[in-house]
Amino acid sequence: MAIRNIVILTGAGVSAESGVPTFRGPDGLWEGHRVQDVATPEAFARNPVLVQRFYDERRAALGRVEPNAAHRALARLDAEWPGALLLVTQNVDDLHERAGSTRLLHMHGELKRALCTGCGAAPAWEGDLSGNPPCPRCAAAALRPDIVWFGEMPYHMDAIGAAIDAADLFVSIGTSGAVYPAAGFVDWARSAGALTLEINLEPSAGTPLFDSARHGPAGVLVPAWVAELLG
Ligand code: OAD
């Protein structure tokens, strides 16, 4: 089957070699923090300062990391692939865009964006949110991180669904497949008739759902796969 339309899903593993911690497993972010203390609307209502500081630290840490070979290879694919391509990332870092990807959707939000709970504006944001800075649009001190927390609806689901329905190839890179709806994309893509490939450091819970899998570091495997695809 000729491949024209590609959907790529990335998770924390694609940024691991840049020095951004993943969520699960040893040294993962969820080892040092309880999800329900920092990544739910209830946590923010209960202890906004703790939650703002958690995301302020992670936003500041982005200034100390750089895109790696996997981000760069995906940006090359974006620039050179003649068919449809959509890169869907669960990551809230900005390493895909800094590498040059443009056909990109952040389904779990972005660290470098704030969300005003007053007026709904989502301004680009570089600094801290603890300290309650005013919203640039409505001036209310009502900004939260523009991060999709547990219990909230991921962004761009209509556009992602349309791309998966039209996909000939679905590739999942560096994600444990533990969080829905992203973990369900492989089944969805298969039902839509796409070939499916997993690239991950190690087998994941979802590995049996894929037509094929390659296991090893994304910084090595993704450039090799992109080079194959571009011939
Ligand atoms: P996880 O931490 O659950 O999984 C990261 C995956 O990357 C694991 O399967 C690792 O084996 C793999 N990995 C680690 N280093 C790698 C490397 N160098 N090359 C390739 N793979 C590597 O992270 P996600 O699956 O992204 O949601 O987690 C999904 C969501 O759960 C996140 O978006 C976040 C979290 O709670 C929100 O914050 C809303």
What is the Å distance from ligand 1's center to 141 Cα? 33
Spell out the per-residue pLDDT of the chain, length 231, in tens.
699 999 999 999 999 999 999 998 777 887 777 888 899 999 999 999 999 999 999 999 999 999 999 999 999 999 999 999 999 999 999 999 999 999 999 999 999 999 999 999 999 999 999 999 999 999 999 999 999 999 999 999 999 999 999 999 999 999 999 999 999 999 999 999 999 999 999 999 899 999 999 999 999 999 999 999 999
For the chain, the maximum distance between any two Cα atoms, rounded to a whole number of angstroms, is 55
What is the Å distance from ligand 1's center to 29 Cα? 10
Please state, in angstroms and rounded to a whole number, the distance separating the CA atoms of residues 181 and 152.
Answer: 11
Q: Is there an atom of ligand 1 within 6 Å of 223 CB?
A: no
Backbone angles phi, psi at 130, to 5 degrees: -65, 145
Question: Which contiguous run of DSSP H or E holds residue 13?
Answer: helix 13-16
Q: Burial level of 164, CB count in 10 A (0-12/13-18/19+)?
A: buried
Is 108 in the active site?
yes
Q: Which protein residue's CA is at the shortest distance from atom 18 of ligand 1?
A: 217
Per-residue confidence (pLDDT) for residue 28, from 0 to 100: 84
Question: Which contiguous run of DSSP H or E holds residue 127?
Answer: none
Please state, in angstroms and rounded to a whole number, the distance separating the CA atoms of residues 183 and 160.
Answer: 13
Q: Choose among 56, 178, 193: nearest CA to 111.
A: 56
Would you state the structure tokens that stand for residue 75, as one six-digit string? 């940006």
Per-residue confidence (pLDDT) for residue 25, from 0 to 100: 79
What is the Å distance from ligand 1's center to 218 Cα? 12
Per-residue confidence (pLDDT) for residue 15, from 0 to 100: 98
Per-residue confidence (pLDDT) for residue 61, from 0 to 100: 97
